[in-house]
Structure 1
Amino acid sequence: MVRSIPDDTIQRIKNAANIVDVISEYVVLKKAGRNHLGLCPFHAEKTPSFTVSPEKQMFYCFGCHVGGNVFSFLMQKEGLSFPDAVRAVAGKYGIEVPDDQLTPAQKIQASEKEKLFRINEMAMHFFHANLTDAQKGAKAMSYLIGRGMTRKIITGYQLGYAPPRWDGLLNYFSGKNVPATLLEKAGLVIPRKDGNGYYDRFRDRVLFPIMNVNQQVLGFGGRIMTDEKPKYLNSPETPIFNKGRGLYGIQKANQAARASGRVFVVEGYFDVLAMHLYGLENSVATLGTALTPEHVQALKGMVGQEGRVYLVFDSDQAGIKAAQRSVPIFEEGFLDARVIVLPTGHDPDTFLREFGPDDFLKFADNGLGMVQFLMEAAIKRHGLTLEGKIRVINDVQEVLASVQDAVVRTLYIKQLSERLDIDETALLEKIRQAAGKLQGSGRSQTNVRPGVSMPEASRLELQIIGMMLCYPPMISEIIGRNLLDAFEDAKLKLIGQMIANQGNIEQERTSNLVSAIEDPHYRNLVAQLAMTECRWDRQGCERVLAQFESRSKRRITQDLQRKIELAEKNNDRELVETLLMEKQRQAARGLINS
């Protein structure tokens, strides 16, 4: 692994870091004995199998078999390189990461993502300075105040204004010696069609910086202040910005959602800011896209297994369709979601201004489950005539079919049959047919990663690695009997040598070992071994070592004998001599039977 950060700095950062604190920003963890448990952020699950050990400073999911230390968690969750993950952890603990030891080549190769984060942060400050300038930002400031925004909200969320120029931001970065090619990668400028230069993407718009939980700026949302189209313009997809994963306001909502165990999902930037303005900081919005499985995972990380999501949809047809699309996503993510329908003509912004947060929370308390909401909405829309009942069933059959818990699905069907006065058995058969179609299309299947598997020949070697991690007194025995030399799996052999070089490894130092393993498959294996309860004793160790020794001697002896017989058959006396000498050396070292 090529590193641009000195090892002693990495160790200092890791010593200062608490993996429980870092992961708690993404996952609701509950103490369970010596460890902490939560719902895995890497796959959908209903029962917590994601384990974090403060003692070992490691994590491991026994469901999808992903594990590691604090750095590898951020690498997996945020898609960071190792140096970027180290810098991210350092930033949380106020540790400065020196870069004066980097070679010129390493400086050039510094993470592109880190550069893009810095560029977006600079752009945010540029836009905010324009907004707060008495002359440049007067129109935009007046617009925001007219929309109910306060100076505190404008400053706290670093709202900004893009000047009505084609090169305002471009010129700003030109003065900072930032190349336009990087601005293009950040989605801030667009190349001209004639290939001659660039122009600003955002012009004469109010801007909303979009951040992650670590308050890094991922991109921007721009709102025009007139009736021109498009009304909203978001940053394009970039190496650090993905609309299907981002949630506006999450940097503020994360802690509030954890404390309350619930989170509100509204439809726009102003709705989020209005909610936060009235004290409902546990609110976020999608970025002009439908809810995705990645959104659900992020929401689940905010509220935990027992938490609840409230979807604040419009009561119009578009809102109903959005709810229909969301049901299977929440079902597969095992997350409870309710729907809040505000009075006609109101969105969260206007409702809160007129009625206040207390009445809003009353609506939330009366929110229907998603399936119930869709059934009632279909009945309201189509009525209970014969034709209306047929349309209701057609509207909700896929929704009911996507409910994975068979008991819950049956209860919904019973409720619908009573509301429609239709035979429950006939309705059940109709839903079963719809469920079969969904399974055939693969739409109802949850994407769970395959478990860890190893070749048969490597299983004993893996046991020995686990032994070295869990029962250090056997390390000297393993080295003294040259057992690592007989490993067939080269990567497990290297891991064994790394453990041996550490001597009698302490539990928390296993975390250091994980950082040195580049292959994610083997990193996960070591994390699994480290996080599994230790059941080794000397008698069990000796039994496994004897079994491995016997097997490896037999294998090496047979391989050498085959080579000798083949050399004799080909009358290659020189090779025969060499192989016989090798056989003597192996026998002297105890690696084969003499």
Structure 2
Amino acid sequence: MAQYISEEKISEIINASDIIEVISDVVLLKKAGREHMGLCPFHAEKTPSFTVNREKQLFYCHGCHEGGNVFNFLMKHNGLSFPDSARMLAGRYGIDIPDRQMSAGQKRRANERDYFIAINREAGDFFRRSLLETDKGNKALSYLNKRGISQEVINDFRLGYAPDGWNNFVTYCLKNKKSLSLVEKTGLVIPKKESRGFYDRFRDRIIFPIIDINSRIIGFGGRVMDDSKPKYLNSPESVLYNKSRSLYGINMAKDECRKTGIVYIVEGYFDLIALYQHGIKNVVATLGTAMTLEHLQLLKGFIGKNGRVLLVYDSDEAGLKAAQRSIGIFDKGYVDARILKLPDGYDPDSYIFNFGKESFLQASSRALAVIPFLIESAEKKYGLSTEGKIKIVTELSKILASVNDNLVRAIYIKELAERTGISEMAIMERIRQARTKNHTQFNKRFKQSGDTGGPSGSDGWNRREFRIERHIISMMLQFPDILSEISKKNVLEYFEDTSLKAVGRILLQQMGGAGKKVSEVIALIDDKVEKNIIIALALKKEPWDLNARTSMITKFVDFRRNNRNNFILNSVKKAEENNNDELLLKSLIEGNRRLKNLKDSQVKLKKRGLYNI
């Protein structure tokens, strides 16, 4: 970290940043005493366990145990490196990071992401000028006007046009001395296969800039204006753009989603823009991929735990399959999801232009929960003949097998039984078979992957026998005035858990010696176990006053010292009783070793201000 940005600059950024303000960009937080709480953006949960503490500038999830300072949040949520997260915060709070600290190679690597953002911004401007300021753009502008898209919406979504031809943007880059090998990494240009050079990815297409929640262009989508294939073309994935985590229109929708607690999800750019133009602004679109858990967790940060997701898919076979694929995602994400079924032949774009906003909202109020929608769709598809009923139950059993909530599954089994006239027991048996098959396939993949399923770091520090040691570390974090007492009495010498002991040494050095805050200490630690210990214990509420804290430390040291001495005395006594010279010698050596370590540690402590074995 310090290799790129000095510790002083890191501290300056942390002290200037407001972790509540930063996290509120993506998580709906509510005040809860001295802290703020919301749904964790890193795992699916029904009730909030994600805590943010403004005073300590820390966040922590009691469910998945992710935590850290404002840097860690941006790194985890946005997939950034530490230098990138620091530069993002520095830019947000007007802090200058001098380039002179970096070597030429370090500066190039650190600035590459910023370079890609700048290239995308310039590309967006290039496409926009091509649409609005050139003769070539008249065709595209006429196409948008025929589709009913207003100039205001064209401006809001920064729509553009990629001119026909193989090298319009390439020529622009060469003229402005852009490195095409770097531009290639954004996906805007493609290297030629049989000769040197590059050509434009987007040609003769309406351009839709894909913008993240921080209003940065991370990629582009392009649509043809005729029947050419492919109809849509998106940027390839890059260091900026990941389609499984990105949603078109999220930058425009997030505030309205917070206000209403509802989000509409559509599949196409024009579907979204049409709804937005008609005043429905809490709408996002997936980008050529199925709905993912990452998408859902992002949206839950805006709509909250009681929010609702409405899928507005086309009422064709493709739309039905998209709804089916979403079942497991919504079940894992603990979200109230509904499906809005439009009349045959209509998509959201054509429906709202033909029938208007009020009709669309009325239809939304009749949206079905996912399983009832699929039951109704299967009934329409197969009919209610004997053969049709068998197909309905067979298809729905596979879907119901992915529902983990037993009560919810039982309710839908009852509904399916009533609709088909097949007994609940028979349907339950089909579901049991499907679940067994799914479990077998999962175990097979699990064994093939060699995944042990264990945690990435040891959690032994959290065991019951180390409760007092945890209390002491927690007090060190929350009441730095006891650090001198910890050093004076050499308390860490008596710790038994190595992780807690290591954390204690870090705190003595960084908070006692260097005088840093907890959020600053976090920025200097790479070990995930040590970092999690500090975050979890820093947010733990410790009720003791100074006298109680001092008393606990004294009693802990006395107890551990006496316990160790008794262990040695018992070993010596046992060796003498059994006439075991070898055990007697080992016991005496161990006793002397502990005494010597204690004295050596005290000498080093006086010299260096820390304890170090």
* 1:540 paired to 2:536: no
SS in 1 for 2:136: coil
**In 2, Cα distance between equivalents of 1:286 and 1:4:** 36
Q: Which residue of 2 aligns with 1:519?
A: 527
**In 2, Cα distance between equivalents of 1:352 and 1:38:** 34
Change (3 A) 1:85 1:548: farther
Q: Which moved more, 1:478-487 or 1:433-442?
A: 478-487
How far did residue 369 of structure 1 move?
A: 0.1
SS in 1 for 2:43: coil
* 1:472 paired to 2:480: yes
Q: 1:499 aligns with which of 492, 497, 507?
A: 507
**In 1, Cα distance between equivalents of 2:400 and 2:212:** 34
Contact 1:207–1:222 under 8 Å retained in 2: yes
TM-superposition CA deviations, 1:496-533 (whole Å, max 9, x none): 34433455699992111111112233222211111122
**In 1, Cα distance between equivalents of 2:125 and 2:258:** 29
Change (3 A) 1:302 1:454: same
Contact 1:263–1:310 under 8 Å retained in 2: yes
**In 2, Cα distance between equivalents of 1:37 and 1:482:** 37
Q: Which residue of 1 aligns with 2:367?
A: 367
Change (3 A) 1:192 1:322: same
Contact 1:187–1:236 under 8 Å retained in 2: yes
How far did residue 337 of structure 1 move?
A: 0.5
Letter of the 2:46 counterpart: K
**In 2, Cα distance between equivalents of 1:580 and 1:290:** 65
Letter of the 1:51 counterpart: T
Contact 2:493–2:598 under 8 Å retained in 1: no
* 1:161 paired to 2:158: no
How far did residue 456 of structure 1 move?
A: 6.2
**In 1, Cα distance between equivalents of 2:394 and 2:516:** 57
**In 2, Cα distance between equivalents of 1:214 and 1:287:** 18
TM-superposition CA deviations, 1:9-31 (whole Å, max 9, x none): 43343233221121112112222
**In 2, Cα distance between equivalents of 1:223 and 1:389:** 41
Q: Which moved more, 1:232-241 or 1:91-100?
A: 91-100
SS in 2 for 1:435: helix
Change (3 A) 1:391 1:401: same
Q: Which residue of 1 aligns with 2:440?
A: 440
Q: TM-score by structure 1 length?
A: 0.88
Contact 1:56–1:507 under 8 Å retained in 2: no
Q: Which residue of 1 aligns with 2:305?
A: 305
Identity %: 45
Mapping for residues 176-195 of structure 1, pairs under 5 Å:
176-195=176-195
TM-superposition CA deviations, 1:207-226 (whole Å, max 9, x none): 11112111122111111112
Contact 1:249–1:285 under 8 Å retained in 2: yes
Contact 2:159–2:206 under 8 Å retained in 1: yes
Q: Which moved more, 1:428-437 or 1:547-556?
A: 547-556
Q: Which residue of 1 aligns with 2:206?
A: 206
Q: Which residue of 2 aligns with 1:405?
A: 405
Contact 1:44–1:332 under 8 Å retained in 2: yes
Q: Which residue of 2 aligns with 1:564?
A: none
* 1:22 paired to 2:22: yes
Letter of the 1:84 counterpart: D
**In 2, Cα distance between equivalents of 1:494 and 1:195:** 58
Letter of the 2:72 counterpart: S
Q: Which moved more, 1:430-439 or 1:541-550?
A: 541-550
**In 2, Cα distance between equivalents of 1:47 and 1:96:** 40
Q: 2:599 aligns with which of 588, 591, 594?
A: 588
Contact 1:57–1:508 under 8 Å retained in 2: no
SS in 1 for 2:284: strand
When the two chains are superposed, the root-mean-square deviation of aligned CA atoms in Å is 3.4
Q: TM-score by structure 2 length?
A: 0.85
Change (3 A) 1:3 1:256: farther
**In 2, Cα distance between equivalents of 1:431 and 1:507:** 60
Mapping for residues 98-137 of structure 1, pairs under 5 Å:
98-137=98-137
How far did residue 114 of structure 1 move?
A: 2.6
Change (3 A) 1:350 1:556: farther
Contact 1:64–1:450 under 8 Å retained in 2: no
Q: Which residue of 2 aligns with 1:145?
A: 145
How far did residue 399 of structure 1 move?
A: 1.6
Change (3 A) 1:309 1:583: closer
TM-superposition CA deviations, 1:227-252 (whole Å, max 9, x none): 11111111112122112221100111
**In 1, Cα distance between equivalents of 2:273 and 2:215:** 16
Mapping for residues 92-491 of structure 1, pairs under 5 Å:
92-442=92-442, 450=455, 453-455=458-460, 459=466, 464-484=472-492
**In 1, Cα distance between equivalents of 2:566 and 2:185:** 58
Mapping for residues 45-124 of structure 1, pairs under 5 Å:
45-124=45-124
**In 1, Cα distance between equivalents of 2:52 and 2:390:** 51
SS in 2 for 1:109: helix
Contact 2:397–2:427 under 8 Å retained in 1: no
How far did residue 338 of structure 1 move?
A: 0.2
**In 1, Cα distance between equivalents of 2:273 and 2:566:** 71
How far did residue 119 of structure 1 move?
A: 1.7
TM-superposition CA deviations, 1:349-400 (whole Å, max 9, x none): 1111122111111111110000010011111221211111111101211221
Letter of the 1:526 counterpart: I
**In 1, Cα distance between equivalents of 2:174 and 2:327:** 48
SS in 2 for 1:513: helix
Gaps of 5+ in 1: 559-568, 570-578
Change (3 A) 1:339 1:454: closer
Letter of the 1:289 counterpart: T
Gaps of 5+ in 2: 571-581, 583-589, 604-613
Q: 2:539 aligns with which of 519, 526, 531?
A: 531
Change (3 A) 1:354 1:366: same
**In 2, Cα distance between equivalents of 1:485 and 1:174:** 65
**In 2, Cα distance between equivalents of 1:164 and 1:328:** 42
Change (3 A) 1:200 1:12: same
**In 2, Cα distance between equivalents of 1:250 and 1:557:** 69
Change (3 A) 1:343 1:493: same
Greater relative contact order (Cα 8 A, min sep 6): structure 1 or 2? 1
Q: Which moved more, 1:396-405 or 1:3-12?
A: 3-12
How far did residue 489 of structure 1 move?
A: 7.8
**In 2, Cα distance between equivalents of 1:135 and 1:557:** 96
Q: Which moved more, 1:424-433 or 1:377-386?
A: 424-433
Contact 1:486–1:591 under 8 Å retained in 2: no
Q: 1:509 aligns with which of 517, 521, 525?
A: 517
**In 2, Cα distance between equivalents of 1:44 and 1:23:** 17
How far did residue 75 of structure 1 move?
A: 0.5
Letter of the 2:20 counterpart: V
SS in 2 for 1:356: helix
Aligned residue-pair number: 574
Q: Which moved more, 1:496-505 or 1:356-365?
A: 496-505
**In 2, Cα distance between equivalents of 1:194 and 1:260:** 54
**In 2, Cα distance between equivalents of 1:52 and 1:141:** 47
How far did residue 163 of structure 1 move?
A: 1.9
Q: Which moved more, 1:15-24 or 1:242-251?
A: 15-24
Change (3 A) 1:493 1:130: farther
Letter of the 2:28 counterpart: V
Q: Which residue of 1 aligns with 2:573?
A: none
How far did residue 106 of structure 1 move?
A: 3.1
Contact 2:461–2:500 under 8 Å retained in 1: no
**In 2, Cα distance between equivalents of 1:491 and 1:108:** 37
Q: Which residue of 2 aligns with 1:574?
A: none
